[in-house]
Structure 1
Amino acid sequence: MKDLGKLKYLLGIEVSRGPDGFCLSHRKYTLDIITEAGMLGATPSSVPIELKHKLASVTCHVFENPEQYHHLVGRFIYLTSTRPDLSYLVHILSQFMKTPLLAHWEAALRLVRYLKGSSSQGIFLRSDSDLTITAYCDSDWASCPLTRRSLSAYIIYLGHSPISWKTKKQKTVSCSSAEAVPCVK
C-alpha cells in the first residue's frame, strides 16, 4: 500500500479542501463537455431550461446525429453526481434518447451554455455541520403532457450538505392528486 497524500481527484471528481469543509465538483469534466460541444465562445445562460418548456410535445425535424445527442446526455447523467440542480433537466432530456428532435438538441446545447456559466459548481460538504439527516420530497400531478404521469423528486441532506437526490416519473397514472382507497372490514 502507498500513501498518495490528500485526495484531489477521484473518478473525475475534483476535491477542494478549505477550512469550513470540502467541495466536490466536476470542473474539468464540465470544461471538457463545453469544449467537446464546441461552445467555448458561446454566451453563458443563466438558467438551464426555459420556464414552462414544451419539450415533450414539440414537433420539428428529427436530429440527424442521434449518437451525438446520446453521448452528450450520457455525459450530463454522470455530471449529476455532483450537480443536483441538473437532475430535472437531465431527466427530461433522457426521455428523448430513442428519437431526439432538433428542439431537444437545442435544449441540450442550452444546458451546455448554462454549464459554461457555472462550471465550478458542486457540492459543499461542511465540516462543522451536525449529523442529522433531513429529507425533502415533492410530487406534481400529471406534469407530462403526453402520458399525464406525475413527477416525484427527493433530496436528502446530512447536516447542511446534500448526499442523495433523484427525479423520477411515476409508473402509473393517477386520476386525481388524492385518490381514496376503499376500506375493507
Structure 2
Amino acid sequence: MAIGVTMHTFDIQLADVDRSVYEDLSVRVARHPSETDAFMLTRVLAYALEYEEGIAFSEGISATDEPAVVVRDLTGALVAWIEVGSPDAARLHTGSLAGARVAVYTHRDPAKVAAGWAGKKIHRSDEVKLYSFDHGFFDSATSALERRNTMIVSVTERRIYLDLNGSSFESDIHEVTAG
C-alpha cells in the first residue's frame, strides 16, 4: 500500500519589515512522502518571504510544469515563479520565460546549487535570485516541526527571526544572482 501525503498546518504571524508586509496567515501544506522536513520548511518560508496577493502553493511534486510556489495576478497571469531546493537550469529558464520574476529558496549549499546552473541557458539569468540561509539553520529549525505549527516570522535587514512552536531560530538571508 502506498503512503499518502501528510497534511501540516502553519499559523504564521508575518512581520517583514524589509518589505512592509504584516499579515496573519494560515496555510495547509500537503507533504509528499519523499519530501524532507527541510524542503517542506523551505517551501513554507519561501511562501512567507514572498507573500503577496495571489500567492499559492503548486500541486507539489506531481506538478512538473509549475514551481513550488507561484504568484498570479487577478487575470491569472504568472507574476512570480518561486522554486525550492535545487532546481535545474531548464526549470529556471522555463520560469523566467513564463513570469516576470524568478526566485529560488534553498536549504542546501548555495554554491553547489548555483554551480549546477553554470554555463546553462537561463533566460534573464541576471535577474534570477537565489536565497539561502546560514549553515545549520534548517537542521535546527526542523527539530521543532509538528503536524500543527505556530510560527512567528520576522524579517529585518535581510535577517530572519523564526519562532516555531515556541523554539527560536535566526539566520541571515543570503542572496546570489544566478547570472
TM-score, normalized by length of structure 2?
Answer: 0.23
Structure having the higher strand fraction is 2
Q: Whose Rg is larger?
A: 1
TM-score, normalized by length of structure 1?
Answer: 0.23
